[in-house]
Structure 1
Amino acid sequence: MVRRPDLGYRDEGVNLSDPSVFDRVRRPFGEAIGLPRVAYRSLQFLYLEDEAIWTRDWVSVGTVHEIPAEGDILPFTLGYHGVHVQRMEDGSLEARFNMAQHGGCRMVPTQCQQGERTSCSFTSCGYSRDRGPITTGEGPDNTRIKYQYLGLRPERLHPVHVAQLGDLLFLNIDPGGADSDLSGDLTLPVPVMRPDAVRAHRQWLEFDANWKFSGQMLARVDEMLTSSDRAMQGRRAASDGSQIEVQWIFPNLILLTQGAETCAITLQHTAITKTLFRIEILSDCPLDAERLAFWHKELLHAGTGAEALQDSIPSSASRDRVQDCAVDQTQDQIAAWWAHNALISRFVKMPQVDSDIPIFRNVEHYLI
């Protein structure tokens, strides 16, 4: 949580935390419309997502191949919360909040309060861009790089729930998160469950599009096979006409499977209108240039498609041709319709805080 939830989440004249705002979005597929434009450009909506999703759900952070050796650390920012997962001496995994949550700042600078991750030497900060895994080869635990994550007494840092499904890693910072079922309705593809799977490729790509647009383009399907509030599965034709099995584990993990290969994309928003694709391809053998080109083409098509959708959203309400909260168009992508409903269901289940204590308006924007 980065703000006072009892103050609500309002922007462009709309109470965004009111589920009735999304009534038309929650209609059956074929009748439902898309999310309001404000969902793709509003800092307040980003705060709402932090409160309802990133601090409540099991969130994908990558695979075990990121931290294979004892002492390796994988940083990941959940919403505005800097956390990490570390490989321990006995091979187990421990996750914690970073020691330097705000880096070296005594308060959050103005430039860090605009919804865009900043480039900062303190990569442990919840407002800065994440770096890649920290290996034991980068120095002992008392180096500055590791100190900002571990401090001097890592065992005193606030713990984070960590779970492993096959090769996939998930974190949950909700104190009660361990009680929520992660694997109950998931049937994961064979490549991520195979004990001898190899990581054939790793890459990060960034696109100028909101994470929700990015997810719906990566997970677009011609046919949905199964769905729940947690995950959906389907299939679609690839650019070369072959079939790809698609799975979206809400909120931020897309699994694309073809044959013995699974391309796992962990989405991480780096700004309101920017998303980082953290890509890992798992297989039973190395990939040749042709297969790498195939996956690159699929990912590039999804990323540029998401950018086109983002470009269709004016940067402010004053530029909207239709002065209406909702984009009054029928939602024709079933994966997007599913994701919108999964998102809104979390708004509905989000703990509500009512307060009649008078408060000055400027406190609404105070970040902790």
Structure 2
Amino acid sequence: MNEPVRCDNDIFELMRSKRYFYRMESLTGGQLYRLSDHYGEGSILRKHVGEGIVYYATTYERASYKMSDKLLLSRSTFELILVMEGTCHMRVLPSEEWHEFARGDLILYQSTPEISIIEARATRFSSISLELDLTIPDLHDEWKEPLQRHLSSCLNGGYMTVLKAPERVISMFRQIATMTGLEKADRYFQWKGLSYLIFSECLEWAARSGGQAKSRIVLTEADQLALLHIRDQLASEPDQVPTLAELSRQCCMNTTKLKQGFKQLFQTSISSYMLELKVAEGKRQLQETSKSITHIALELGYSNPSKFSALFKKMEGMTPREWRRRYDRN
């Protein structure tokens, strides 16, 4: 495994040497870079808040680039990005999935040696971000392992998590975006203190949100049609229990994209949708036939009828027998 390259003050100069950016001017407390015409139109303001912490304000009218330089990708950093306006589509290889980010999204991202390429496309996009160098001496050895565990937990074991930013976090990002006087000694601790507070708040929010973290993917028209076909197929055969692998082959998607795409498009998981279909079919048969509850449960794929009754009660608030009696009375 390659050793991570330490993030330093010259990282943007490296990007400038690769012609991703041109340096427009050096400002007091920071630098302003313009995106190369080859990659679009926009700029990035960069300020070093303190040792190992960098503030970025990004504005792209349009941008499209693919970054594959290991010196840029293998840095040991953790970044918080708040999308202020516009949209951005990004994929981080080796994953083939495209992720879509929009206004109000809070992106938590940690670079890893496994990342080989970052590809991004943006339109009328602006964001504010803070980057923490995980190799800085300030991070004592006894902190590094607990911090990495905490980051891994907040990122659900991956390299990126996307959440809707709470109003408190948005307010703090806006506050740091409007702060001035970074070059003055009496403002240094205000900048650094607010930066660490933002890191703390965002990690706490990610930990509290847990399973609510969502990483949206881009679904093409063909993807949506394939998912609609899967949904209609499931609806037409509620007694069948196809595996994810079978559904994946039918729609030519990997299982991860299938599950995430289905939930994104229909606001329910495949498994939950199949259970809803079984209960709906059970209700239809309870109304329209005189079949026993055991018979209906067996037809719907339940070898143990009590499991069907428990599911029915959970979703309808009453057992199948109670539901049938109520329907008969009505």
Q: TM-score, length-normalised on structure 1?
A: 0.24
Report which of the two has the higher share of helix.
Answer: 2
Q: TM-score, length-normalised on structure 2?
A: 0.26
